Amino acid sequence: MFDVVFNGAFIVDGLGSDPFRADVAILGGEIAAIGHDLGSSREIVDIDGLHLVPGFVDIHGHSELRAMVDPGLYPKLLQGYTTELGGNCGVGLAPVRHEGRVDLAKEVSGILGLGPQDWPWSSFPELLDHLGSMNFGLDLGLLVPHGPLRRFVMGERSCQSATAEDLSQMAMLLDQAIEAGAFGLSTGLFYDPCCYCDGRELEALFSVVAARGGLVSVHQRSEGDGILDSLEEILSPAERTGARLQISHLKIGGRRNAHKLEAVLGRIGSAVDSGVDVAFDQYPYSAGSTSLYSLLPPRWMGLDFSLLRRSLCDKVDRSIIKEEMENPDGWDGVHSLVGWGGIYLTSAQREEHRPYLGKSLEEIGRMRGEDPFDSFFYLLSEEGKALTMIDFITSDEMVEGIMAHPLQMFGTDGLYSPCPHPRTFGCSYRVLGDYVKGGKLSLPEAVNKLSSRPATRMGLSDRGTIQVGKKADLVALDMDAMANMADYGHPDRIGEGIPFVWVGGKLSVRDKTVVGLGGRLLRR
């Protein structure tokens, strides 16, 4: 006797096959049979007329801290995500020294959100043990974040090049973390302190991950003017070490760089042809979202904040920073790509700054009666590193051009700022409601990019498709009702058309409500 039988669904199996009508039986949390007249079951679920698809896998998430205070992780689960890989962009929670916990919590709050007051971990294995004691709405795996790893080893020297001893220590800690269950390494070469690493450091860390068969996820140093050099910077160590490389949220920033798309995709293709194991993820939006602090030139980001704050309040230093931001040399100047009219504030901790949420820096400048640069300097000096932004850095045409590539898969890059990017709550609805119903993707292709491809990339052979023996992570889709509701003005609105989600064969979502916590920590 089966535990559950789903009757009458149109099956989209995640492999890219055309939908077919069949019943699906579940036993012990796994798919036990697919066909017709499957036999007796303790529960019959009639989903006649709905599509049944594999649970979605978010290969680019940031939910590890949010999971501690919202274990249901409803922004993801209500979209049909049943697995997430967190710890991306080199941003994360461990390793961390006891005296650095408060500072790290403040620093990551704009990306990861607010978590518990008490952090009962220091090492990465201890973080895994802490998360391993909890149940979640979905399964959660983690990458080791390069930023905390570098700071843990190098301390106040983290804005410098690493010594041989530093590299040895980082490699040892990384290896221990992967042995404890981490899926690999993430780095954010755009961010402090990862931006200060060099080729030696990348190769040393890539080598550790390669030896363990893990994944290296990279937010590139440049996604704009220097994207081709940046691409070479990460493809070269991947080729030399054999590391499996995942390029995070691939995009090409700025209209002046749109012509580089063919060269970027061509270089990735040539790397694959030469044997490099590389793929990339993408969120289906023309706007990005990240730390407002990251708009600063790298040499200023590396300053202790007390020193930086002094410079942000000094007219001479302000003029120097402004000049460097308007004419970036060797780094990704997002302001120079989109201007203040394309950068919107999405978080603020101080009450007097809340009226600026959802406003562009250009609008904030007008509200304050000053140049937007001065508003930018003021906000950073008052709020520090936790501020986040949305930046309209690319175009819908660019999004669609990247989406069509066979190595592409979807990832939310969902952040938990007070005024989030709509991708946090709406990524899968955007794919299904806008791109599938809009005729830009077929439903089988979209489901493949949301489930099977990212599952395979994570090394998870037990999920991502509807096949006998696979984990019963399943999502019911009502494609007639499917609609994306989250937008930049209402980023936390939940879409329509996903009435049910099952995790391990247990009902977890019914009508936009989390009703079960069937997820757990995944250890590789």
Domain assignment present for residue 147? The answer is yes
84 and 222 assigned to the same domain: yes
Q: How confident is the model at residue 260 (pLDDT cuts 50, 70, 90)?
A: very high
502 and 355 assigned to the same domain: no
Q: Within 13 Å, how many C-alpha atoms sit on residue 392's CB side?
A: 12
46 and 61 assigned to the same domain: no
Q: Rg of the chain's alpha carbons, rounded to an integer?
A: 23
Per residue in 4-13, pLDDT (tens digit) is 999 999 999 9
Q: Where are the beta strands (DSSP E) in 254-321?
A: 278-282, 288-291
205 and 80 assigned to the same domain: yes
Structure confidence at residue 386 (pLDDT):
83
The last residue of a domain, from among 391, 420, 446: 391
For residue 417, is pLDDT > 90? no
Q: How would you write 137-198 as a 3-class SS string? A: CCEEEECEEHHHHHHHHHHHHCCCCCCHHHHHHHHHHHHHHHHHCCCEEEEECCCCCHHHCC
Question: In the structure encoding, which two tokens stand for residue 9, read together?
Answer: 């669904």
Structure confidence at residue 42 (pLDDT):
96
Domain assignment present for residue 202? The answer is yes
Rounded-to-integer distance, Cα 521 and Cα 39, Å: 34
Rounded-to-integer distance, Cα 381 and Cα 392, Å: 24
Per residue in 99-115, pLDDT (tens digit) is 999 999 999 998 999 99
The last residue of a domain, from among 345, 376, 391: 391
Q: In the chain, pLDDT over 90 holds for what percent of residues?
A: 94
Mode of pairing for the β-strands spanning 56-58 and 51-54? unpaired
Q: Is 2 helix (H, G, I), strand (E, B) or coil?
A: strand
194 and 278 assigned to the same domain: yes
- Domain harbouring 14, CATH code: 2.30.40.10
Cβ atoms of 105 and 76 within 8 Å: the answer is: no
Domain assignment present for residue 200? The answer is yes
Domain assignment present for residue 465? The answer is no
Per residue in 42-58, pLDDT (tens digit) is 999 999 899 999 999 99
139 and 262 assigned to the same domain: yes
Per residue in 376-416, pLDDT (tens digit) is 999 999 998 889 999 999 999 999 999 999 999 999 999 99
108 and 232 assigned to the same domain: yes
Mode of pairing for the β-strands spanning 408-410 and 278-282? parallel
Q: Is 218 helix (H, G, I), strand (E, B) or coil?
A: strand
241-271 b/e (C-beta count within 10 Å ≥ 16 → b): bbbbbbbbbbbbbbeebeebbeebbebbeeb
Per residue in 427-485, pLDDT (tens digit) is 999 999 999 999 999 999 999 999 999 999 999 999 999 999 999 999 999 999 999 99
Give the range of the structural domain holding residue 50, as residue numbers without chain letter.
2-54+473-514
Chain position carrying tokens 């760089």: 257
- Domain harbouring 68, CATH code: 3.20.20.140
Chain position carrying tokens 């535990």: 3
Q: How confident is the model at residue 418 (pLDDT cuts 50, 70, 90)?
A: confident
370 and 226 assigned to the same domain: no
Question: Which of 144-148, 221-225, 348-352, 435-439 is the least confident region?
Answer: 348-352
What is the pTM assigned to this prediction?
0.95
Residue 476 region, left (φ>0) first, then alpha (ψ -120 to 50), else beta? beta
449 and 509 assigned to the same domain: no
Sign of CA dihedral 318, 323, 327, 328: negative
- Torsion angle of alpha carbons 27, 33, 39, 41, nearest 10°? 20
215 φ, ψ (degrees, to nearest 5): -120, 140
Give the helix/strand (H/E) hosting 522: none
Q: How far is CA 113 from the centre of its chain?
A: 14
Rounded-to-integer distance, Cα 175 and Cα 124, Å: 11
181 and 74 assigned to the same domain: yes
Q: How confident is the model at residue 192 (pLDDT cuts 50, 70, 90)?
A: very high
Residue 57 burial (CB count, 10 A)? 31
The last residue of a domain, from among 342, 358, 391: 391
Domain assignment present for residue 519? The answer is no
Cβ atoms of 222 and 331 within 8 Å: the answer is: yes
Domain assignment present for residue 353? The answer is yes
Mode of pairing for the β-strands spanning 51-54 and 2-11? parallel
Structure confidence at residue 401 (pLDDT):
97
Structure confidence at residue 230 (pLDDT):
97
Question: In the structure encoding, which two tokens stand for residue 512, read together?
Answer: 């936009």
Per residue in 322-368, pLDDT (tens digit) is 999 999 988 889 999 999 999 999 988 899 999 999 999 999 999 99
Mean pLDDT of the chain: 96
Per residue in 160-169, pLDDT (tens digit) is 999 999 999 9
73 and 177 assigned to the same domain: yes
For residue 419, is pLDDT > 90? no
120 and 213 assigned to the same domain: yes
Domain assignment present for residue 523? The answer is no
Domain assignment present for residue 330? The answer is yes
Rounded-to-integer distance, Cα 507 and Cα 223, Å: 40
Give how many domains the chain has, as a whole number.
Answer: 3
Cβ atoms of 196 and 298 within 8 Å: the answer is: yes
Rounded-to-integer distance, Cα 181 and Cα 463, Å: 18
Mode of pairing for the β-strands spanning 81-86 and 56-58? parallel
Q: What integer is the mean pLDDT of 33-46?
A: 95
For residue 256, is pLDDT > 90? yes
